[in-house]
Structures are given as structure tokens and as C-alpha cells.
Amino acid sequence: MLTLYYAPGSCARAPLIALAEANADYGIEKLDMAQNAQRQAAYLAVNPKGRVPALVTPHGVLTENVAILAYIAQTHPAARLAPLDDPFAFAQMQAFHSYLSSTVHVAHAHGRRAYRWSDDAAAQATMQQKVAQNMLESFQLIESSMLKGPWVMGDAYTVADAYLYTLSGWLEGDGVPLSKLPAIQDHHQRVGARPAVQRALAQEAAGTVQL
């Protein structure tokens, strides 16, 4: 049994989709980020970083999407959510995950979370003004040289598609019309139409706040 700590609309949507795609045996714990539940002692005991996602596994708690997505794919091989028999392709998938985690997500965070990098209101404002440009440029790069098509890794749908879908869902809110990125827009629609994704979104919305 696995337990995913998440907040609606956050990057934890990616592992929630992966768990649904894998038909995993899992439960969910919803955090109220409006109340800063991620910084409260009850959650810091689960994840001292104060971030979602966190996945409680029989072996201990896993944090970081890059690790969690690989773990879900590897522990549910029948779902074929990663190129498990091809070390190079698996590393490519992890490179893609790392780009989303360390570059795209961080570019997005300079909007709502600019206070992490500066206490100066003017500096925060200039960081926020760069978000749309940085997000557009990152996704243009993904479109032109990373998304193999039809799925991120080529013919096979993987957990990388759930992660890309989650972060491309932030584009409009970051001031980037999806219509500027036709391949990303098409990918977003195709992932969103998958039955497991629909189940995950319904579950995400229906979860009751635990923390």
C-alpha cells in the first residue's frame, strides 16, 4: 500500500496520474496549501522539505517527482510506464524528468514563490515578469528537441507524459497561451483524455483535506 501526499493543482498531480495509470494500491492525503499545511509539524514529520509530493512506501518516504515517478514505474512493471529494459532510454526519461524538475518547475516558481530568492519587492516583481518568457522558451525547447511524439519517449506512453501534462497545465496561468505551443497543446489534450487521467483528476478534486 502506498500513500501520496498532494495538493490540488500542484506537481503532485504527476505521481497521482502515474498511480492511477499503474492501477496501484494507493491512498491519498490532501494538504491545504492555502493554510500552509505543508509547513506544519504534522507534515514536516512526513517530508521535512515542506513540499509535495511525498509518497509513503513500505520502504520509507520518497520525495522528488524524479524519484517517485521512476519508483512507481519500476514497481508496477506490468503497466509499462517506463522503458524498463533499456538503460539508455530510461536515463533519457530521467533526463527529461530532471529538466522539468530543475528548470521548468523552478522557472514557474519565480512567479508565486519569488520570495524564495529575494526579500526585495522590486526584485520579486522583476522575477515574476520573466516567468512567461522563461516558461515559453523552456516549452519551445521541449517541443523542438525533447518530445519525440506522439508521447515524450516516442511510441510508448510513460510517466514522463504525466509529468509533462502536469506542468504544461500551468502555462496559461503563467501567461503563455497553449496555442503558441501546438505540439504541447496536442499532447496536453491527448493525455487529458486518458481514462486514468480523468480518474486521477476526479480523485484529486474529491480528496478531503487531512492536513
Ligand X SMILES: N[C@@H](CCC(=O)N[C@@H](CS)C(=O)NCC(=O)O)C(=O)O
Q: Which residue has the cell 530543475?
A: 102
Q: Which of 2, 17, 18, 38 forms a contact with ligand X (CB under 6 A)?
A: 38
Number of residues that bind ligand X (CB under 6 A): 12
Cell of 134: 522563461
Residues 53-72 close enough to bind ligand X by CB under 6 A = 53, 64-65
Scan for cell 528537441, then name that residue: 145
Asked whether position 127 contacts ligand X by CB under 6 A, the answer is no
Binding mask 82-121 for ligand X (x = CB under 6 A): -------------------x---x-------x--------
Tell me which residue has its CB nearest to ligand X: 51
Strand stretches in 32-128, DSSP E: 54-57, 60-63
Nearer to ligand X, 101 or 124 (CB): 101
Q: Which is nearer to ligand X, 65 or 168 (CB)?
A: 65
Min dist. Cβ of residue 78 to ligand X (A): 25
Bridge pairing between strands 60-63 and 2-6: unpaired
Q: How far is CA 114 from the centre of its chain?
A: 19
Contact by Cβ (8 Å): 180, 136:
yes
Amino acid (1-letter code) at residue 140: Q
- Pick from 2, 4, 5, 10 the residue near ligand X by CB under 6 A: 10
Query: Is 142 a residue that touches ligand X (CB under 6 A)?
Result: no
Alpha-carbon dihedral angle through residues 177, 5, 163, 101, given to the nearest 10 degrees? 90
Helix (H, G, I), strand (E, B) or coil at 13: helix
Is 73 within 8 Å of 84 (Cβ atoms)? yes
Judged by CB under 6 A, does residue 180 bind ligand X?
A: no
Interface positions with ligand X (CB under 6 A): 10-11, 38, 50-53, 64-65, 101, 105, 113
